[in-house]
Structure 1
Amino acid sequence: MSFGFSVGDLLAVVQLANKTRRDFIGAPSQFKAISEELRALAIVVQDVEIDLSGKQCSENEKNRLREISDSCCNVLSDTKKVIDNYKELAPFPDVKPNSMKKAWKRVNWEPQYIRDLRDRISTNIVMLNAFNGRAVQSSIARLMQHNERRQIGAILEWLSSVNYVTQQSDCLSRRQLGTGKWLLESMEFQKLVKEPKQTLFCQGIPGAGKTILTSIVIDHLDTAYGNDENVALAYIYFNFRRSHEQRMEDVLAGLLKQLVQGQSSLPDPVKVLYNQCYSNGRRPKLSELSKALRNVISRYSKVFIVVDALDEFWSTDMSHDLFLSEIFDLQTRFNIGFFATARPIPEIMTRFRGLSSLEITASRQDVKKYIQGNIYRLPRFVRRNSKLQEDIVQVVTDVVDGMFLLAQLHFDSLIGKQSPKAIRKALKSLPSGSCAYDFAYKGAMERIQEQVSDRKEMAYKVLSWITCAHRELTAFELQHALAVEVGERYLDKENIPDIEEMVSVCAGNTSARQSTSGFHVVTTK
């Protein structure tokens, strides 16, 4: 083949495609579509190389093939980078203790990002087929598929812009490995999973760990049924800071989006709904969303709906009653497993009377696992003293009384201690009961105030911004908010603070925490 450039350029595309595709082995189900596209790309590239072998090409053809080859390499390189970002080194039981292998992180890749990568790969396949003068009809079909995927993406984004994937990933990343098993193994949860039309309501006091347990439930269901096309999962993290996104119409639209975004094509009722509303420049009505939701749910043998912090939906406009009526009505018609958490508010608890329920508290075993898993954060003298470690685990577990957040706050208060005596003195003064949170937060603020003036001032600014904001701020937004100088007409980029420094000045404890979904203050709400 004489293209005026190395055959290796084209073969490199094949090798990179095959290597990238092999990396999908053991990956979550979301990556399957990308793997199939990569396989198709590798086959087409090989066909082009074989068919053009020994042929003379014009200068324009050489340039065109070079452009396509570069485009293929770029999209494959981008895909490879993203794959590497979603893998981590983790031990496997069948390898030696000192050996490590690559493992997939349990995260949900952004659907829009999947579509973008697939679109780019598909476009390159079409260009190669067109260049080679083969499979014209196939190329047309792929172009139609490409346009259809773009339309699906546009409809899903129109349906709802709310995305709980990053929050799910963040919550799950903060879970201490091994915690939450008591809930998954409970008779009530097993009944929810195995029997039709079941509801499990979990109420708990502020700080008991309801949100983290919700993320554990979502991950468990996704792991168990993620590859089952007949079972669907949709979830909601209610948040009082998102009241502007929590109208009843928004919630149903969000559920509908999650239930259809994994399908290869959108159900006709969703397309009809989009065409009717979009052309008239209006949002869908509650009755229209409810009708479309029923149609989509009917296509599955079972649907799980998981809702966290139902009380924070209640705190907006009392819509929780209407929402629960909708869910329970759906449950009478279809096989829906419904899991919900909330604080023990009488108006909400009344709606679940007679249904399966559990009280969520931080189990002693979970608290112990959390503390033991974080001992490495304490000073070295603690890590060298096994008796002191045992005392820390025992005392903190005893005083938290079912409040997981309190365990975190009490543990963080020990991080800066300088001696075993200081640790033991602090352990003796750890409070329990109703005043415990006030004591813990007061201690956090005292550690902030003990810093030099500049660090203390920045900490106050960080906490003020994320406390008073109407919604969670992204790291980028908070950085720029802190960079604004009163009286200055322009933003000086050299005044933008470092993210790690912003977290550090908050005294290294949970009074302010950065997550993948943004910055937020940890409170008992």
Structure 2
Amino acid sequence: CLGKILKNVGQYTKVVDTAIQSNPQVSALVWAGVRAIMQVALNHVEAIEGLEVAIAALLEKMTICEFYAGIYVGVPLTSGSAANSLQRQRMLESALPELYAAVIVFEVKARTYFEARVTNTLKSFDIEFQPFIEEINAKERVIRECADGATMEKIRNIEGVLQDITSELKPLAKLNEISTTATHTLKVTEEIRNNTQDDRILELLTLLTPLEPLKRHQDVKMFRTKNAAAWLLSSESFCNWRDSNTIPVEDCIRVFCCFGIPGAGKTVISSVVIDELYSQFHKYPSIGIACLYADYSDQNNQILVHILGSFLRQLVQETVPKELIEMLVKIKRKGKKVAMEDILALLRIRLQQLKRAFICIDAVDELAPKVQQQLFDVLKELGTNNNTRFFITGRNYIENEVKKRLQAMQQHKIVISATRQDIEEFLRQQIRDDLDADAMDGSLQKDVIEAIIGKSQGMFLLPALHIKMVLGMTTKSKRRKALETLPTDLYDSFKGVITRIRECLSKSQAELGMRVLMWLHFAYRPLELAELQHALAVEKGDTEFDAENIPSRKALLDCCLGLVIVDEETLTVRFVDTLLICS
């Protein structure tokens, strides 16, 4: 405020000077004293203001210099040449104390300046302190130059390091692509490892049994019509058996039996039931499903230890117990076979672990008699576990044996007979697949269906043989005549087919057809397609094998006129029904 007042008063000094000239004797001396006082006061105010500015500048300089000191003082400068680095280090370390000394001198001078009160205040602040300010600025410039030089060296050094890193990373220009590839490779490796682990477990599980009933199941499905056995799945008794966890134990059906004459469709019904169980419960790990398709021609392989091993393998398919793997590893290492006792013990444990278990056995009558008895004894024991359900099919004569052996469990039986609806659907499908469409019309189709159903006798097999016989004719007239001579029972049907093989086919086709039937009838076990083809290629008098004499799959099937089929999953050749083996 005082500075502003003095400056405002100073605006009128010229006016006062003019007045003094008009009367110098009186006012000159007085005005000279006033002006001296005003000049001293103004100089004092300017000195204070200048000191404030100088102190602010000093604080900024000191902050910057302290920052430089924190970075460079006491830290070896490794950038640039060794000589320049050492020299700059020493200059910087000496310039800092000199700066601090100049600041202290400035402080002492400022204190002396204001304590002198009068003598020095006649000089302006700039004149009085300029040398000291310049000294401080000079020291600060030295520090800045040293620090800036060191900084540039560090920057150049960093740039050099970055260039080195860049040159080293050039071969990795596709690093992202490599990383993606590596990630994919890791995933593939993990999948391979898991697949390898799964393959190893599957290999171990084959020690339990050579039987593969699920492959047989896939083959049976191929011959089913779309809505086969729908009536059974919707029946109250079947729902009681399937959903027995919601029914009191004493009221639930534990054993569901289907008995019927040969060719009635028992195997097809078994496949329908197995599919129904898988569709309903396969997603639940606590519910197990196992099946067996007994086969008269495979009795030597379908022994009790293999059957139980197959049940165990299917029931642990989703989660294989550690103790089972360890046991199989030891057995494989020793080159031994799995003992019946071990399989039965593990089967008991597994059934106890499951909330519910379904065991389906198709054509139990086709097992060897001794194996039948052994299996019934095991089923009786396993049935003590209330969570286990059995589905059994067989010919009529086996009914009493099942009833007696499994009497401790609640049973329900139905007699299987091919329904008109199922047979008609099957026949329509066969006609749709007929390659000779010109030999069929709507009227003939209706007559074929009615005639064949009328002689079906509750069987699927007989209509299957009849429709093969009819569609084998090449004209409508011949097909109508074939309807008039359809056999009335299976034996006559088989006999009629064999007669047609011998009399209606060419000599070479008839010979091939009869050789196929003989090989299958006398074979010790089911023959694979390739085995049968190679056997048929060898003829009497051959001294070496002739690969060009191997008959095609189509040729050997066509020559048998429907009596022989090939299981697609197992690629084994077998009769269309086991009744042919016994005939």
Q: What is the TM-score of this pair, normalised by structure 1?
A: 0.69
CA RMSD of aligned residues (A): 3.1
Q: CA deviation at 1:317?
A: 4.3
- Picking from 442, 456, 460, the partner of 2:514 is 460
**2:432 partner amino acid:** Y
- Picking from 227, 230, 236, the partner of 1:187 is 236
Q: CA deviation at 1:175?
A: 0.6
| Structure with max Cα Rg | 2
8 Å contact kept, 1:511–1:522: yes
2:409 corresponds to 1:409: no
- Picking from 216, 221, 240, the partner of 2:277 is 221
- Cα distance 1:368–1:143, how it changes in 2: closer, same or farther (>3 A)? closer
Structure 1: runs of 5+ lacking an equivalent: 1-53, 73-121, 130-138
* Whole-Å separation in 1 of the counterparts to 2:556 and 2:195: 43
Q: What is the TM-score of this pair, normalised by structure 2?
A: 0.62
8 Å contact kept, 1:310–1:341: yes
Q: CA deviation at 1:487?
A: 4.0
- Picking from 409, 425, 430, the partner of 1:369 is 425
**1:171 partner amino acid:** V
2:290 corresponds to 1:234: yes
- Picking from 471, 479, 495, the partner of 1:423 is 479
**1:446 partner amino acid:** T
- Cα distance 1:431–1:494, how it changes in 2: closer, same or farther (>3 A)? closer
2:207 aligns with 158
- Picking from 515, 532, 553, the partner of 1:499 is 553
8 Å contact kept, 1:201–1:352: no
**1:336-382 deviation line (CA, Å, top 9, x unaligned):** 12101011124345335661011111111111111111113454355
Amino-acid identity (%):
27
2:171 corresponds to 1:56: yes
2:498 corresponds to 1:445: yes
* Whole-Å separation in 2 of the counterparts to 1:176 and 1:242: 26
Correspondence 1:130-141 to 2 at 5 A: none
8 Å contact kept, 1:192–1:337: yes
2:412 corresponds to 1:356: yes
**2:302 partner amino acid:** Q
2:221 corresponds to 1:172: yes
Q: CA deviation at 1:405?
A: 0.2
**1:175-223 deviation line (CA, Å, top 9, x unaligned):** 1221211221222211111114621011111111111111111112112
- Cα distance 1:453–1:297, how it changes in 2: closer, same or farther (>3 A)? same
SS at match of 1:288: helix
8 Å contact kept, 1:311–1:348: no
2:389 corresponds to 1:337: yes
Q: CA deviation at 1:174?
A: 0.5
8 Å contact kept, 2:564–2:575: yes
Q: CA deviation at 1:303?
A: 1.2
2:299 corresponds to 1:299: no
**2:221 partner amino acid:** L
SS at match of 2:539: coil
* Whole-Å separation in 2 of the counterparts to 1:55 and 1:452: 77
**1:213-263 deviation line (CA, Å, top 9, x unaligned):** 111111121122222222121100111222222221111111111111222
8 Å contact kept, 1:234–1:306: yes
Q: CA deviation at 1:150?
A: 4.3
- Picking from 190, 204, 211, the partner of 2:267 is 211
* Whole-Å separation in 2 of the counterparts to 1:365 and 1:270: 47
- Picking from 300, 305, 317, the partner of 1:244 is 300
1:328 aligns with 380
**1:344 partner amino acid:** N
Q: Which has the higher helix share?
A: 2
**1:56-107 deviation line (CA, Å, top 9, x unaligned):** 269xx9xxx8xx98xx9xxxxxxxxxxxxxxxxxxxxxxxxxxxxxxxxxxx
1:11 aligns with none
SS at match of 2:226: coil
**1:361-409 deviation line (CA, Å, top 9, x unaligned):** 111111111111111345435542x222222111211211111100101
8 Å contact kept, 2:258–2:392: yes
SS at match of 2:360: strand
**1:398-437 deviation line (CA, Å, top 9, x unaligned):** 21111110010111110133444433333233243xxx11
SS at match of 1:400: coil
- Cα distance 1:465–1:55, how it changes in 2: closer, same or farther (>3 A)? farther
2:319 corresponds to 1:319: no
Query: How many residues in Structure 1 have an aligned counterpart in Structure 2?
Result: 396
8 Å contact kept, 2:362–2:393: yes
Correspondence 1:391-402 to 2 at 5 A: 391-402=447-458
